[in-house]
Amino acid sequence: MDQDPQLPELPGVEHRFVELPDGLRVHVAEAGQGDPVLLLHGFPQHWWEWRDVIPALAENHRVIVPDQRGAGWTDAPETGYDRKQLVADVVALLDALEIDRVHLVSHDWGALVSCLLCFEHPERVRSYMCIAIPHPFIRFDIRAVPAFRHLWFQYVVATPGVGPRLLRSGGLVRRVIRGFSSPRTRWTDDDLDAYVARMREPERARAASSLYRGLILPEIARIARGVYRDQKLTTPTVVLCGADDPVMRPEFLGGYEDNADDLTIEIVPDASHFIPDEQPAAVAKHALELIART
């Protein structure tokens, strides 16, 4: 493919576009050979958040890193930012790539989509690593309420007009990333500009706002209401939690024991929410350990 001059380069990574049956044109970065591992990014990022994780995984695996609907270099249509369509996008991508089953490594809203995929299509997932998002069986704990103040930006992003305008300005993207990073994490301007630049495009800022209205806030509400407490997670799962995350605290992550066949929680030191950027070696280590036993 002719590479977009804004598309970051990473040694050993090839890029292509895959058109899904509904017409969505998906950008996919790929590296390595072997059993397939699918990496799904979060907000406000795209495939580049996995830049320091890909090399370790690609030594012995085929690593597939798409930009999800509306993000990065994938199409950003006006619709489709709901749980049903976003799961369907992943299934359609796997079908287009002729992949039956994958190991899933997912961050933020990518992990929400991945969890739904595990529930609805468990036959397609060999293992699931959930990064910086709680499992869906958590129970309300009054001690967690003070932490909710950190999530103010979600409602701002979700507000039509206001959210897209602030995202395009770049200031909100930088504030969210820096605000949810460990005090020991130092972001360079180039690091942040890789994400800010794509969000400056009106259709991508609009897509991010639609994503919060269509998936993220509704899914948080569903988890809070206990919608998933009568479901079973059969996929071998590891939940990674940053030790410095102000919202996802380890002491609030119980309650899964009767709903998950194989789930463990791992704490990553010197990391907050953006663990793939902050501690990529730890992400790769835990992912490879999970893959090796499944």
CATH topology of domain 14-292: Rossmann fold (3.40.50)
Which of 114, 103, 18 is CA-nearest to residue 63? 103
End-to-end CA distance of the chain: 34
What residue ranges do the domains of the chain occupy? 14-292
Residue 5: pLDDT band (50, 70, 90) is low
d(CA 100, CA 21): 17
DSSP for 115-154, written as a single string? HHHHHH-GGGEEEEEEESS--TT----GGGGGGGGGGHHH
> What pLDDT shows up at residue 141?
78
| pTM, two decimal places | 0.96
- At 196-224, the pLDDT tens digits run 999 999 999 999 999 999 999 999 999 98
- At 56-93, the pLDDT tens digits run 999 999 999 999 999 999 999 999 999 999 999 999 99
d(CA 138, CA 130): 14
Answer yes or no: is pLDDT of 53 > 50: yes
Answer yes or no: is pLDDT of 165 > 70: yes
- Let me know: does 135 contact 239? Beta carbons within 8 Å: yes
Query: Which one has a higher pLDDT value, 224 or 48?
Result: 48
